[in-house]
Amino acid sequence: MAKLKNIIFDLGGVLLNIDYNKTLQAFKELGYNDFEEMYNQYSADALFEQLETGNITNDEFYNKILKGREESVNKDQVTLAWNTLLLDFRLSTIDFLKELSKKYNLYLLSNTNAIHLEAFRKIFTEQTGYADLDVFFKKAYYSNLVHLRKPNKNIFKFVLADARIWPEESLFIDDSYNNIDTAREMGFKTHLLLPGEKIEDLTYD
């Protein structure tokens, strides 16, 4: 078995506490009764997929999601509902990244979007005093910036090529089984992080 050299982390549910139900409920209160079909932990409809791959602007997203609802819902309400799922960073986990980085190359691979990216960077700075989460990694890959998203194989291929690493020497940690399944198929070592489990609880050797 190849020696472990690299660890690739998901963000939400791994480093950052999130709650999809909070956003689901917030959108329901705005009248979006089908929001769970539009977006959830494991899938996204065409609009949210475009947002998470950076293929539409924030304004285009707001225009589409507000279409026909302008009288009852506004942009600020949508932003608040959308960001409600972002809770707080796991500070013990962030500290543990410093220890891991002494032995392994660390990377971040996250499905996200420009709205969430701005919001969680603010949360991170307020909690930790660090200017940017990215300083803990050799490189951070955000779906909206690379125009690819998990669980599609192309984003994993992109990371491998860009970072010049091999899957058999790399551990991928995520809290969504569909992302884990793709990584495993491609030869990565994988760990599905379960609710209540933290990366500092795992064995890496």
Catalogue the active-site residues.
10
Please provide the size of the chain in residues: 205
CA distance readout (Å), 46 to 55, 61, 70, 144: 11, 11, 21, 14
Cα-based torsion angle of the residue sequence 133, 204, 101, 173 in order, rounded to the nearest 10 degrees: -20
What is the side-by-side strand order in the sheet with 6-9? Answer: 139-142, 105-110, 6-9, 170-174, 189-192
* Angle (nearest 5°) at CA 109 between 82 and 76: 15
Give the integer Cα–Cα distance in Å for 157 and 34: 33
